[in-house]
Amino acid sequence: MKRVFPEQKAVIRRERRKWRRLAEDGVSFLRQDSFLPGGFLFRKFSFPSSFLSAGPAKGGEGDKPFRVLFFTDTHIRSGESRSFFPTYAWKGTSLVRENLLEAVAAGEPDAIVFGGDLAGESSCFPEGAALFGELPLKRKFAVYGNWDKKGKTLLSYGERCKMLEKSGVSLLVNEGVFLREDLYLFGLDDTRTGYPLFSLPQEAEKEGLVRLIVSHNPDTVTGRLKEEEIRSTDIFLCGHTHGGQIRIPFFGALRTSSHSGKKLEKGWYIHRETHARMFVSSGIGTTFIQTRIFTPPEIVLLEFPPLSGGANPQ
């Protein structure tokens, strides 16, 4: 059941105008792109120390950046998915597993964050959940997507949650956790099939803190959050749009399953008033047709500067 009502659609269309596309090679961060052996686009964004209001780090030799690996919209299904750029095909989780393991080995992340829509068929959810158990990291987090709670299903939400927990995944539904003393991760429920509520503890409001907010759908951000709740050091991680899945050079997405349309289709955006940042990922899987054209599946690594005076907690 969709929970985006007509009046909320109007709010989304109005609030989306407050976000503008951000040049990815701008002063906010450094960018590196490469392709993994399995054909997935591996993107790395490094935030400078100046991004944190606390100032540059002054730690010892043991300090290292804190890295978060973000991917979304795997849509695991029994059928086959293809992409024309670059050419590849996959069935089930085999190629997804290969690319995720390569990304973990290349990026050495401290935490993994999944943006929702794990399986395109409920019968494939156990296989998708087991995939997380093969990723060699202790800190794994996920949020619900609309397909994770969509329509009739063979598995209850409780059973799905237990499967994720068995693979070491913490499901964040309108709740958060500190990844580091200056980095707070918060997961919002899906706006179409759930009840997103942005409620933070007092310790997550302190100055110099980066709030990493995961929302499957960018419509949740534009339709549910108030401007006074968004800060300059907020980073929103979203998916759902698939970058359009089929794109035309120099035009972009033909369509997106979002009330924000092409306004928030793919890439980095910045809020005109608060200067918060939003990244909309093109994801991994496919939906309406099992093909991607000029929209390679992507896995994203975010790198934050070291803490001042000490190494990152593991």
pLDDT, tens only, 268-292: 999 999 999 999 999 998 888 888 8
Residue 55 confidence class, pLDDT cut points 50, 70, 90: very low
Residue 122 CA to residue 224 CA, distance in Å, equals: 28
pLDDT over 60 (residue 60): no
Residue 149 CA to residue 240 CA, distance in Å, equals: 14
Residue 313 confidence class, pLDDT cut points 50, 70, 90: very low
Residue 311 confidence class, pLDDT cut points 50, 70, 90: very low
For residue 162, the one-letter residue type is K
pLDDT over 60 (residue 72): yes
Residue 5 confidence class, pLDDT cut points 50, 70, 90: low
**Stretch 219-241: mean pLDDT:** 92
Per DSSP, the three-state class of 59 is coil
Share the mean pLDDT of the chain.
85
pLDDT over 60 (residue 59): no
Residue 297: predicted pLDDT:
93
Is the alpha carbon torsion for 76, 16, 302, 314 positive or negative? negative
**Stretch 247-264: mean pLDDT:** 85
**Stretch 200-215: mean pLDDT:** 91
**Stretch 219-224: mean pLDDT:** 92
Q: Where are the alpha helices (DSSP H) in the chain?
A: 6-15, 94-107, 125-133, 157-166, 218-224
Residue 189 CA to residue 278 CA, distance in Å, equals: 17
84-116 pLDDT, tens digit per residue, is: 656 666 667 888 999 999 999 999 999 999 999
**Stretch 34-40: mean pLDDT:** 89
Helix axes 157-166, 125-133, angle to 10 degrees: 30
Residue 171: predicted pLDDT:
94
Architecture of domain 6-53+63-304: 4-Layer Sandwich (3.60)
Residue 123 confidence class, pLDDT cut points 50, 70, 90: confident
Cβ atoms of residues 86 and 34 within 8 Å: no
